[in-house]
Amino acid sequence: MRILVTVKFVPDLQSQRSFTEGAVTRTGDDGTMNELDENAVEAALQLKEAAGEGEVYALTVGGDDAVAAVRKALQLGVDHAIHVSDAAIAGSDVFGTAKVIAAAVRKVHDEAPLDLVVTGMAALDGLTSMLPTALAVELDWSQLTLASGLTVEDGAATIVRHLPDAHETVSAPLPAVVSVTDEANKPPYPNFKLIMAARSKPVTTWALADLGIDPAAVGAGAARTVVVDASPRPPRENRVTVTDTGDAGTQLADFLLEKGLA
């Protein structure tokens, strides 16, 4: 079983997140691997273990600091790490990013065929959840997204997909792009042995030229959308907190009634 997992470098959820010139501020100080990508790494490792053989690759796209995302994936136990970095990629929209990732996937696939690309269900900075679909279309592979369960058998992958109106079981031939939800598995706590082993593992770095991508086809210039304004929302005003001394329930009710909310 050969699997590639895409991981994203995002600002830590607990940090002060912000925008710089229309893009999410991403720095090494408070950046980390997107938490939901841990589920993708874990799903890939479980499939490899079940198959009894295989290779798991982690791939990230981003500036110098983004290498932290694939280093984290190495610490979680993946075999190989790839970092695609090129100044021309900056400012790409989801379609540009998908183009870059697809080219990198094809490069790995051409060396020896991959069975799956596994991604997280969303990146916790943008939360659009569009990349897995865009990647499946770019690769012209099967799309199996939002999997809360995943099995691979006889050249096909089958997922369980929990949607608000129904639980679906969807099947498709390999190779496939699968996105897994945070219900799919519980990523284990960091393992000291794996963390130590990860230190000596190399990270392969590719630029756009290595992938045969025209720089004009990606980046800010090719983006179909542009952020024209970004500003912090003002804090809520006139906030009240009361400690219950026997009548807080009544105070709460009166607050709602006065505001016409009850």
Partner 1 sequence: MTTVAVLVETRSGEVTQPTFEALTLARSLGTPVAVWLGEAPEAPEVARLGLYGAAEVRVVAVGDEARLPAVAAAALGAATSDAEVMLMVSTFVNKEIATRLALATGAGVVVDAAGAELVDGRVETMQTVFAATWNVRTRIEADRAIVGIRPNTTQAIAGEAPGAATLVEVAADLRQARETVVVVEPVSAPEGVPLAEAPVVVSGGRGTGGDYTLVRELADVLGGAVGASRDATDEGWISHEHMVGQTGTTVTPALYVACGISGAVHHRGGMQASGTIVAVNIDPDAPIFEIADFGVVGDLGDVLPQAIARIRERRAG
Q: Which of residues 90-119 bind partner 1 (CB under 8 A)?
A: 93-95
DSSP conformation class of 236: P
User: How many residues bind to partner 1 according to rule CB under 8 A?
Assistant: 77
Residue 79: CB atoms within 10 Å? 16
200 interacts with partner 1 by CB under 8 A: no
> Considering the complex, what minimum distance in angstroms separates the CB of residue 232 from partner 1?
6
Near partner 1 in 40-99, by CB under 8 A = 93-95
Binding segment for partner 1 (CB under 8 A), chosen from 53-61, 67-75, 103-111, 250-258, is 250-258
Rounded to 5°, angle at Cα 131 from 142 and 172: 15
Interface with partner 1 (CB under 8 A), residue from 146, 150, 178, 180: 146
20 interacts with partner 1 by CB under 8 A: no
Near partner 1 in 118-137, by CB under 8 A = 121-122, 124-130, 133-134, 137
From residue 156, give the alpha-carbon distance in Å to each of 114, 142, 143, 153, 176: 13, 10, 12, 5, 8
Does residue 96 contact residue 131 with C-beta atoms inside 8 Å? Answer: no
Strand partners, 83: 60, 205
Near partner 1 in 150-189, by CB under 8 A = 158, 162-173, 181-183
> Nearer to partner 1 by C-beta: 151 or 196?
151
**By CB neighbour count within 10 A (0-12 exposed, 13-18 middle, 19+ buried), where does 102 fall?**
buried
